[in-house]
Structure 1
Amino acid sequence: MQSIGSPLMWSLFAAFVLVALLVDFFAMSKQGAHRVSTKEAAIWSLIWVGVSFVFMGWLWWYVGGTSTDEAARTLANGKALEFLTGYLIEKALAVDNIFVFLMLFTYFAVPAEFQKRVLMIGILGALVLRAVMILVGAWLIAQFHWILYVFGAFLLFTGIKMWWAAGQEPDLDNNPALKWIRGHFKIAPDYDGEKLFTMVNGVKMATPLLVVMLLIGIVDIVFAVDSIPAIFAITTDPFIVLTSNVFAILGLRAMYFLLANMHERFHLLSYGLAIVLVFIGAKMLLIDIYKIPVAVSLGFTAVTLAVTMILSLKIPPKGGKQHEGGAYPFGAKPKSEDQR
């Protein structure tokens, strides 16, 4: 499969991701467990978005955006547009991912100061998982062109399913993954700081925080299965697919804390995401009949998301029973500093 990714580009990208994660981990370790403010989340969100656009500019320049060769400029413009479209789609799907994280944190009443670590572990898992799935997906497409039709049909199904599920509160009490975890782990009734395991009456048990981490890992898998085919509808270049995914994920933790208190305002966003997935699925199914330009995909995605967000602000959400935080499914409550 053809790719613009040279060994140098792959090496520079890998080095950047490693440095970014180290900086993030260092900052998290230095700050310790604390509640992330909206201001802090907004600053980091802007930083990650800014870094993503700087990368896009560098990509455009490196491929030949300033070259006197028209073919090189055309290639650079096309790759930059593919990256931007893929980044926007993955970022939009990440918002839905964030709302699921919020639901889990609310259901398990995870103290705000512990959420940061859980999200960081979840992001690491998502990065590794998506890298593997993208490489496998790229190989499958290179070997079997018809797999694009499978991806397209899957996205159509996912989009329709998302539309019907929008606005409905998931039943976590009867979730198969949660039932499996409860059946295979001894779970402590209390949180014990940021620890994943604790001792209760001489018995080693998993804390509710570990349960949340495991569920977020499962959520990562589910969302990766949805989002990876979506980006392959925009481009089959593994370098563009992976970089747009990674940059969308790197800012996920900051974006969570920024949007955590705004999920009710954007209650119609899931409908917009469903429409986008159906559009992308149709695009993949039509790929050998008519190739929809990347610019059209970008415009359609941006307009659809913008319209649903504006309508969310104008149309009040329907009343519904929400799970109340603080109900601790295992009878858990955070230990005080004196108890730890």
Structure 2
Amino acid sequence: MLEISGLTWAVTIGLIVVLLALDLIIAAARPHKVGFAEATAWSLFYIGVAIAFGVWFAAAYGGDFGTQYFAGYIVEKSLSVDNLFVFVIIMTTFAVPEKHQHKVLTFGIVLALVMRGIFIAVGATLLSLFSFMFLVFGALLLFTAIQLFRHRDEDPDVENNAVVRAARRFLPVTEEYHEGRLVTRIAGRRMVTPLFVVLIAIGGIDLLFALDSIPAVFGVTEEAYIVFAANAFALLGLRALFFLVQGLLDRLVYLSTGLALILAFIGVKLMLHWAHVDISASVPEISTPVSLGVIVLVLVVVTVASLIKTRSNPEAKAHAGSLRATKEPAERES
């Protein structure tokens, strides 16, 4: 059992808040198009911070917990790339000006951290009180994996999202962006801008990803502190990663398939753990090093296969994948 002092929790959360504040200050103080060099520098910085934390954590609490952290970090990082697909779709759908994309992404990261913090607390409590929750989480991940694989060649229908439709129906929305403001006045009438609707869409997507990613990371570690740290450090680099790889995302044609395999694998791992604890100790469990190896192997194979595919067929295009069938354009118009 991992024993984390209140001071360590406070310092960790403080570090996350400082890094988030840095992002917010940059986004608010100097709205601009983020170039490749800047995105690369920030990406390397956040990856370096995550690795440095993992090295310290392994040295302070042991190699086994360190391995759990890195496995959780890689799981969350791989899922965050799929998150980026959806962010790109949202930015394109709502034609978000490049100088405001920084602000939208930072808001998305903050909201994702808040939601995942809530889910981590709830998940850790449920797992500690009810061992059958491992079975529930495992079944949830298997269902998600099957749905993602079935609809791997589709994209989420952002405009048809219930929350976005409700916002457009009940809120007065301006036609244009107004210097990055969320609310403005036109002819004396208070109205929300499209940026406000974009943030609603981002929030809805964050909620869906939290429902999937938290059970997934609990599949490699039961420690709430590791789950939180892995999520936080994976999400912190999401903004920079977006600007770094948005031009390369279309080439990862097998990413959704790979993520479906990873989620299915972790789902089986959770269900085996439940059976080992509640049914019979003779039921085998999958160790964290094996999990880490499988996850890395799947990501490497998926990346290489995707690049080979797009090189031989330049017209092949990646999709974010969807958890339900999306409507055809003709259906939407009718």
TM-score by shorter chain over 0.5: yes
Trace 1:133-172 onto structure 2 (pairs within 5 A). Answer: 133-172=119-158
1:39-61 C-alpha deviation (Å, 9 max, x unpaired): 11111011000000100111122
DSSP-derived class of the 2:249 partner: coil
Cα distance in 2 for partners of 1:12, 1:264 equals 38
Match of 1:335?
Answer: none
Residue 286 of structure 2 aligns with an amino acid whose one-letter code is I
**Structure 1 residues 248 and 320, CA, compared in 2 at 3 Å: closer, same or farther?**
closer
TM-fit CA distance, 1:306: 0.9
Match of 1:72?
Answer: none
DSSP-derived class of the 1:174 partner: coil
Match of 1:307?
Answer: 301
Residue 20 of structure 2 aligns with an amino acid whose one-letter code is L
2:255–2:303 contact (8 Å) kept in structure 1: yes
Matched, 1:80 2:79: no
TM-fit CA distance, 1:97: 0.4
Cα distance in 1 for partners of 2:159, 2:50 equals 38
Cα distance in 1 for partners of 2:17, 2:106 equals 14
Cα distance in 2 for partners of 1:165, 1:6 equals 44
Query: If the length of structure 2 is used for normalisation, what is the TM-score?
Result: 0.89
Q: 1:234 aligns with which of 220, 226, 229?
A: 220
Match of 2:287?
Answer: 293
1:3–1:238 contact (8 Å) kept in structure 2: no
Q: 2:54 aligns with which of 56, 66, 71?
A: 56
Q: Percent identity?
A: 38
TM-fit CA distance, 1:259: 1.4
Q: How many equivalent residue pairs?
A: 308
Task: Identify unmatched segments of 5+ residues in structure 1.
Answer: 64-75, 323-340
Residue 309 of structure 2 aligns with an amino acid whose one-letter code is I
1:111-136 C-alpha deviation (Å, 9 max, x unpaired): 11101001111111111111111011
Cα distance in 1 for partners of 2:112, 2:254 equals 25
Residue 27 of structure 1 aligns with an amino acid whose one-letter code is I
Residue 48 of structure 1 aligns with an amino acid whose one-letter code is Y
Cα distance in 1 for partners of 2:295, 2:317 equals 29
Q: 2:234 aligns with which of 245, 248, 253?
A: 248
Cα distance in 2 for partners of 1:10, 1:82 equals 17
Matched, 1:43 2:41: yes
Higher deviation after alignment, 175-184 or 310-319: 310-319
Residue 17 of structure 1 aligns with an amino acid whose one-letter code is I
Matched, 1:24 2:23: yes
Task: Identify unmatched segments of 5+ residues in structure 2.
Answer: 277-282, 320-334
Query: If the length of structure 1 is used for normalisation, what is the TM-score?
Result: 0.87
1:4–1:237 contact (8 Å) kept in structure 2: no
Trace 1:266-277 onto structure 2 (pairs within 5 A). Answer: 266-277=252-263
Cα distance in 2 for partners of 1:48, 1:206 equals 33
Higher deviation after alignment, 7-16 or 209-218: 7-16
Cα distance in 2 for partners of 1:121, 1:127 equals 10
Cα distance in 2 for partners of 1:94, 1:320 equals 19
2:254–2:318 contact (8 Å) kept in structure 1: no
After superposing on structure 2, the runs of 4+ consecutive aligned residues of structure 1 that deviate more than 6 Å are none
TM-fit CA distance, 1:5: 1.5
1:170-207 C-alpha deviation (Å, 9 max, x unpaired): 33343322211111211101110110011222211110
Cα distance in 1 for partners of 2:19, 2:96 equals 26
Cα distance in 1 for partners of 2:183, 2:150 equals 38
Match of 2:3?
Answer: 4
2:113–2:232 contact (8 Å) kept in structure 1: yes
